[in-house]
Every structure is written in C-alpha cells, then in structure tokens.
Structure 1
Amino acid sequence: MKMIRICRSALVALVSLLAPAALAGQTGVAVRAENPLAVARADEVLTLSWAQLRAALPALSADRVRVIDAASGAEQVTQAIDNDGDGTTDELLVLTSFWPGERKELLVQAQAPAAAPAARVYARHDAHRDDVAWESDRIAFRIYGQGLWQASEFEPLVSSGVDIWPKRVRDLIVERWYAKGHDQYHRDTGEGADFYTVGQTLGAGGVGVLQDGRVVSARNFRAHRILATGPIRAVFELTYDPWDAGGVQVQEVRRIAIDAGQNLYRMETTFRTANGADLPFVTGTVKREGLVGSNRRGAQWGWLATWGPVERKNGGHGSLGTAVLLPSAQFTDVAEVENHFLALSTARSGVPAVQYAGAGWTASGDFHGVEDWWRYLDTFAERLSNPIRVTIGAASALR
C-alpha cells in the first residue's frame, strides 16, 4: 500500500474548500489573517478595530459578537475590550493559532457566542494588602500599593518592583492563593508558590533610574484601575506619586497587560518629567547568587534575561528564568549594579515606553533548561517583529 503524503498548506486549503454547509449563506464581516512566518504560532491574539467592524455591521454589540473560522466552522474565543475605561468598546480581540504560513478566513457576526469561554487570564486588586495581582494560564505576578504600609500584620514594604508567583497548573490561581493567606501561598502544595523575594528591588520588570551607582525608583502605587479581566487579555493601570529621578521630578503611570498562553506581560510606562526632558531609565531583574545573566539584541527587539535556581525558602525547587524585552532601537546598554541586571533605555516625556517582562519555571513543564528559556524569548521577539497580517473586509456571506 502506498502512503499519500499531503503537505500542511495543501491540507489547510483542502479544509477551506470543505467548510460546513451549515455556514453557507451566513452573513458577517469577513476578516483575513495571515501568518508571515514559517513557524507555528499558538495563542495569537488578533486585534480588530471595533469602529471598523461596526461600520460594516451596525448590529454588533459587546454582548452580541462572535467569530467563526470559515474553514472549520469553529467558533473562536473573543473579547470586546474598552482600552481606556470610558465605557465604549474600542477593539475586538480574537484568540486563535496558526500553522507556518497559514492564512485564515474569519467571519465576525452580530450574534451572541454559543457559550461563555473559560478565562485564561485574570487581574484583581486585593483590598486588604493593596496589591494588584495578574496571571495567565502559565504564570502569575503582583505589585504593591501604598495600603501595604498600613497593613499591621505585614512588614512594611516600600517597592514598585514586580513579584513572581510561579505556578505548575494551567488554571487560574490568584483568587485561591489570596484565600489561603499570606503564610500559606509561600508553600508549594502542588500548584506552585510565591518563592520570589522582591524587597526593595525592581523585582522582575520594575523600572527606575540610575543615580550614583544605585537604582532609584517610585514607591508603591497610589491608585489603580483594572480595565479588563479576560478571558483573553487582562489590563490594568497604576499611578505613582511624583518621585525624584536624579534631581528631576517624575510622574509615572504604568499600564500592564497579559494575554492567554504567555509568560511575558506587556508594560507601557509613561514618564512625565517636570522640565519636559527625556529620561534615561532602566528596567531590571533581580541579581542573586547562582543566577546567570545574558542578553541578545535582534534587528527589532532585544532581551535581557536571567536563569538560575529558585530561592530555596519554603521548599522552593527547580530553576527560574526572568526577562525584559524592549525595542532594539531603545536598548542602549546593559549593566550590573548591586543586586540588579539592568537594561538601559531612554524615554521621551509623556510618550509611552513599551516593554515586555516576565518569567518561566522548570516545574511548569514548559522549560527544561536555559536553552528553552532563550528559545522562548527569541520566538516571542520574532513574533513581535512579524505580527499577523489582518485585513477587515466588508459585510459578506459565506458561500
């Protein structure tokens, strides 16, 4: 018997021709999405203009929108998102995956989804501690507010650094861990734990400035806004009191977002200097005994990373990688200062500086060694440099 070998692109084309008859004649807005890379891309989030979709499909609303894959008939996970919290939808997010070079035809319809999808991201504010914690189905983080100074049972912590909650399950754990209580979520009972010590450092992706050979940064956040909690993307914003950055008063606002399936969160930091001047700033990750730092600068995105053993407190185990990614054009240098590895950059006053930061743990099963962590960062940077090509068409019907 002869085996017939069909290449993946031919298979995709064949499936497209065999779209379910039940979809024939259905109307909606046609969207074409194409992967320009010869690599598979799992968990890509497509961003579609809500205004453009509504112009072609006026009946569309945040609770009446669904997206169908024209080839398979499968309903895609979506999220209507209000990016600025003004009560008006700005974008439609669509979660999907691509084979190398794959092109997809999607149909956006003004119909309610068949079922509510399970959330793969989350963000919440803990009023008692005044933390904001956020997570994907891969890993979790948190950052501290000023209320922590008044929580008498905790040691006062002055820090705008980012904490890591490494986990080894795919479901969302933030609510459960807070419910356990402070002492208990530092112990791994099968889901992971908070093994990471931030203290008065930048943690895993905090920002600051270099002053006389040391890192200076904002204190704990003063105010927060949670803008989205999933199921595809969680977004929140933090406001800090003005702080002294080497003799220059700086106002700082951070917007953080995390997407399903990702170990890295997106951080958009807007500095406003009192004199309107540019601000040389640093983004850091903690340097501890046993950690090895590395960096790579690609054509469009570069990264600074660490790898080494998890802190062995409370039964900590495995190895942890941390990283900061930033545009190569803004990646001016790297430095080791006291207990930090630092990526050096410059921001214009009032103009958001975009970076990505995050971590990966061997016990999650996603990374077996430092080479896996580097490969993940290289692939993430390549995907940022080559986004999915999206074209929104007019209202049409599947034939």
Structure 2
Amino acid sequence: MKLIKIFSIGILLFTIPSCSQKEQPITIKISNDLDLDRQFETVEISKSSLGLESIDNFGVKDISTEKSLTSQLIDTNDDGVMDVLLFQPNIKANSEGSYQLVQLKGDEQQKDEIICYSRFVPERTDDYAWENNKVAFRTYGPNAQYRFENNLKEGTLSSGIDAWLKRVDYPIIDKWYKKYTEKTGTYHEDTGEGLDNFHVGSSRGVGGTAYKKDSTYYISKNFISYKTITNGPIRTSFNLDYGVWEADGTLIKESKTISLDYGNNLSKFEIHIEGVDTLSAGLTLHEKDGVVTSHKDETWVNYWQPHADSEIGTAIVAAPNYYTGYEKYDTAEKDLSNAFAHLKVINGKTEYYAGFTWQKSEQFKNQYEWEQYLSNFSKKLGSPLKVEIIK
C-alpha cells in the first residue's frame, strides 16, 4: 500500500513515477481540520499522482454512501489526453471522508449538464463571458478596444470585470446574448432572470488588476487573445492574454487563467506576470455611496453598496501568502475610484478570488451573511483540505 499526502483547496497537481493500471481500488481520503463544514470546494487529482496511464471514464464514489459524485475530467495541456479529475466532496467540520476511484462503463458514464460555462462572444463585438449556477461575468477584447479608439459603435476600452446579475441557477449567457443579436429584448432589463446594470467603464469592476507605482495606479487595455480550457458540471476555466503594457516606464507582461467552480460566488484569478513584484486587484466604488469593509487578520476586502432598487456586495479574497492588505482609493477622475486588495507576486504569479452577490438573487439576505461567507472562504484558503491517496 502506498500513502501519498497532499494539502489542497483545489490543486492536487504533482508528479510521481507512473505505473500500469491495477485492479486494486484507489482510495482518496480527505480531512477537514476546521470548525466549518466544507462543500463546493473542488478537489483536483492529476493522472500522474494516481500512477495511471489513463483516467478516461473514471469517476469517484463516496465509500460511506456508495453513491457516485459528480466529476469532471480536464485536458490541461490541450494534447487530447485527460490530465485531471475534479470532484466536490462534502466534509463536515473536524471530520474526514473516504472516496474510491471507479471506472464507469456504458450507461454508468456521467452525462452531467454543463452549468459552469464560458465562451468567446464574437456576436457582441468580442466579449468573453463566464458563469455558474450563482453568478456571471464578462470582460472585453481587442475589437471592442479598436472600436473605442476609432469612435465606432459598441466600443469598450476596459480590462475591468463586469458583473451580470443573474438570479436563476441555470445558464443565461447564450440566452441573453441571443436577445441582443435577434433584437427580441435586452439583457439590461430584468424579466425574471436578472440583468446587466453594473457599470464598469475604465474601473476595475469586480477584480480587474492594476499596478501601483508611487501613488498612481496603472492598468492594461483589453485582452488581446483568449483560450477556453474547459466547461462542465464543476468548472469552467480559460486563459486571457494582455500582452505587454506600460506603467510609467515599467514594462509589465500579464496573462490570466480564470476559473469559476460550481456553487461559488467567486472566480479564481491566477495572474502570470513579469516586470513587477506586487499587483493590486480592485472593486469599483461606483457612486461612492457604499462602505468598504474587511476583518482584522482576515484576507479579504468587500464593497457593499446600494444598487438600483437593491444592494450588491463585491469582494476579493486571497490566501495569506499573497494578501498584504487593502486600500480605499478615492479620486475625482471618472471610474478610477476603487477598493484595492494588495498582492505579492511570487515566482511570477499571484492568485486571488473575486466575485459578488446581488441581494435580489436571495443567495445572501444581507451584508452580514455575505461577509460571513467571505470570512469562512478566507479561513478555508488558509487551512486547505488534507488529501491522502491510498493505493
């Protein structure tokens, strides 16, 4: 029997020497050391960590209940071979659970609905949009920038992140864009599913990046290229490349891998960056009629504000090794007032989570419930699930 220990809140990618597939079952033991129940946390198991030649048609079974869990396979390097298995266990506070890797055959193979979804949207200039069962987002590409710079219709100059305020648990991206292209309605009006009435402009929106040099924040323009990695029942992820941009003489090369998992209000941002050793992620302050909050010794910042006939909370959460603090940056310049989370760049990368809740979605009743979610989320980042693979 081999025992492999892993510590993770969503990344279990490591390498051991591969071996041939065996009939002996592989058990995955997951432990939770917090006084919090853990759910909607995605465990990633790499093919190489299992010592298998292939993980095609593999899934996961809860040993205690004998029930199969929803799972998703991902080809991370686009070579046509599945590299990673995803699943979301439910682990009670100060508890553990055991799961078995099983090979599904025929009718047993899962055909789960794609809930976590993203795509490039050429029919609306060149947005990139993503969503899960809780929230939806979009950001803007090179054609939107070209249109803006040449005074053409539907131009947008922004590397900010837009929030689409959905209040249903099914996908709406294609449906809302179809309204736009077929001129049968508009996603700027709520007909029961939600709407887009969140202004971004040149602000950071919900988690756009900026670099602070001296007392000034500098930002990139629109993304220049994209690549969709996966869609499925558990995760959507994709890459956005922002090329090289300048911050008062400092050249910065930036790309982002963004993912959104089932049951989460926060997208994960993995920023690959060259040229600087710090970065900031921002939340637009809009009309400046809200409140910026954080809790001492916790690694999150929140902006709770009135929004039309409702209220909205936008937030950034990071792990303790990346988070260095926050700042409320207030300026008279249009759209440039933001609440910023300050982040370390470690070995060319920084990570954080950014997202929102809309009170009309009824996911959280009020600011207190939302901030409790953020507090718990940050605690989980600081104390990841412990995973053991037993072979």
Q: Which residue of 2 aligns with 1:305?
A: 302
Q: Which residue of 2 aligns with 1:244?
A: 246
Residues 1:322 and 2:314 are matched in the alignment: yes
Q: Within 5 Å, which residues of 2 pair with 1:206-355? A: 206-211=208-213, 213-273=215-275, 278-289=276-287, 290-298=289-297, 302-310=299-307, 312=308, 317-329=309-321, 330-338=323-331, 339-348=337-346, 351-355=348-352
* Match among 127, 132, 135 for residue 136 of structure 1: 132
Q: Which residue of 2 aligns with 1:40?
A: 37
Residues 1:146 and 2:139 are matched in the alignment: no
Q: Which residue of 2 aligns with 1:202?
A: 204
Instruction: Quote the Cα distance in structure 1 between the aligned partners of 2:25 and 2:324.
Output: 43
8 Å CA contact retained: 2:159, 2:208: yes
Instruction: Quote the Cα distance in structure 2 between the aligned partners of 1:73 and 1:153.
Output: 59
Instruction: Quote the Cα distance in structure 1 between the aligned partners of 2:338 and 2:227.
Output: 29
The structure-2 alpha-carbon separation of the partners of 1:296 and 1:250, relative to structure 1 and needing over 3 Å to count, comes to: same
The letter of the residue matching 1:90 is D
The structure-2 alpha-carbon separation of the partners of 1:44 and 1:279, relative to structure 1 and needing over 3 Å to count, comes to: closer
Q: Which residue of 1 aligns with 2:334?
A: none
The secondary structure found in structure 2 opposite 1:96 is coil
Instruction: Quote the Cα distance in structure 1 between the aligned partners of 2:345 and 2:61.
Output: 41
8 Å CA contact retained: 2:117, 2:130: yes
Deviation by residue 1:185-229 (Cα, 9 ceiling, x = unmatched): 111100111110000111110001235744321100000011011
Q: Which residue of 1 aligns with 2:73?
A: 80
The secondary structure found in structure 2 opposite 1:190 is coil
Instruction: Quote the Cα distance in structure 1 between the aligned partners of 2:365 and 2:326.
Output: 29
Q: Which residue of 1 aligns with 2:55?
A: 61
* Superposed displacement of residue 27, structure 1: 5.3
8 Å CA contact retained: 1:124, 1:226: yes
* Superposed displacement of residue 51, structure 1: 1.2
8 Å CA contact retained: 2:236, 2:260: yes
The structure-2 alpha-carbon separation of the partners of 1:347 and 1:103, relative to structure 1 and needing over 3 Å to count, comes to: closer
Which consecutive unaligned segments of at least 5 residues does structure 1 have? 1-25, 395-399
CA RMSD of aligned residues (A): 2.1
Comparing 145-154 with 211-220, which one deviates more in the overlay?
145-154
The structure-2 alpha-carbon separation of the partners of 1:213 and 1:52, relative to structure 1 and needing over 3 Å to count, comes to: closer
* Superposed displacement of residue 71, structure 1: 1.2
Instruction: Quote the Cα distance in structure 2 between the aligned partners of 1:30 and 1:242.
Output: 45
* Superposed displacement of residue 119, structure 1: 2.6
Q: Which residue of 1 aligns with 2:166?
A: 167
The secondary structure found in structure 2 opposite 1:328 is coil
From the CA coordinates, give the structure whose radius of gyration is larger: 1
* Superposed displacement of residue 333, structure 1: 4.2
Which consecutive unaligned segments of at least 5 residues does structure 2 have? 1-22, 332-336
Residues 1:362 and 2:356 are matched in the alignment: no
Q: Which residue of 2 aligns with 1:109?
A: 102
Q: Which residue of 1 aligns with 2:27?
A: 30
Q: Number of paired residues? A: 353
* Superposed displacement of residue 336, structure 1: 1.6
8 Å CA contact retained: 1:206, 1:284: yes
TM-score, length-scaled by structure 1: 0.83
Residues 1:93 and 2:81 are matched in the alignment: no
8 Å CA contact retained: 1:27, 1:109: no
Instruction: Quote the Cα distance in structure 1 between the aligned partners of 2:191 and 2:386.
Output: 43
The letter of the residue matching 1:170 is D
TM-score, length-scaled by structure 2: 0.85
Comparing 108-117 with 251-260, which one deviates more in the overlay?
108-117
* Superposed displacement of residue 166, structure 1: 1.3
8 Å CA contact retained: 1:159, 1:201: yes
Q: Which residue of 1 aligns with 2:155?
A: 156
The letter of the residue matching 1:319 is E
* Superposed displacement of residue 44, structure 1: 2.4
8 Å CA contact retained: 2:318, 2:378: no
The secondary structure found in structure 2 opposite 1:99 is coil
Residues 1:379 and 2:376 are matched in the alignment: yes
Instruction: Quote the Cα distance in structure 2 between the aligned partners of 1:149 and 1:137.
Output: 30
Instruction: Quote the Cα distance in structure 1 between the aligned partners of 2:318 and 2:389.
Output: 29
The secondary structure found in structure 1 opposite 2:177 is helix
The letter of the residue matching 1:147 is N
Instruction: Quote the Cα distance in structure 2 between the aligned partners of 1:86 and 1:295.
Output: 43
Instruction: Quote the Cα distance in structure 2 between the aligned partners of 1:258 and 1:272.
Output: 24
Comparing 33-42 with 319-328, which one deviates more in the overlay?
33-42
The letter of the residue matching 1:175 is D
8 Å CA contact retained: 2:139, 2:162: yes
Deviation by residue 1:133-169 (Cα, 9 ceiling, x = unmatched): 1111100011110122456874321110000001111
8 Å CA contact retained: 1:335, 1:343: no
The secondary structure found in structure 1 opposite 2:90 is strand
The letter of the residue matching 1:61 is I
The secondary structure found in structure 2 opposite 1:43 is coil
* Superposed displacement of residue 240, structure 1: 1.0
Q: Which residue of 1 aligns with 2:47?
A: 50
8 Å CA contact retained: 1:204, 1:284: yes
* Superposed displacement of residue 127, structure 1: 1.6
Instruction: Quote the Cα distance in structure 2 between the aligned partners of 1:188 and 1:214.
Output: 38
Deviation by residue 1:61-80 (Cα, 9 ceiling, x = unmatched): 33x11211111111111111
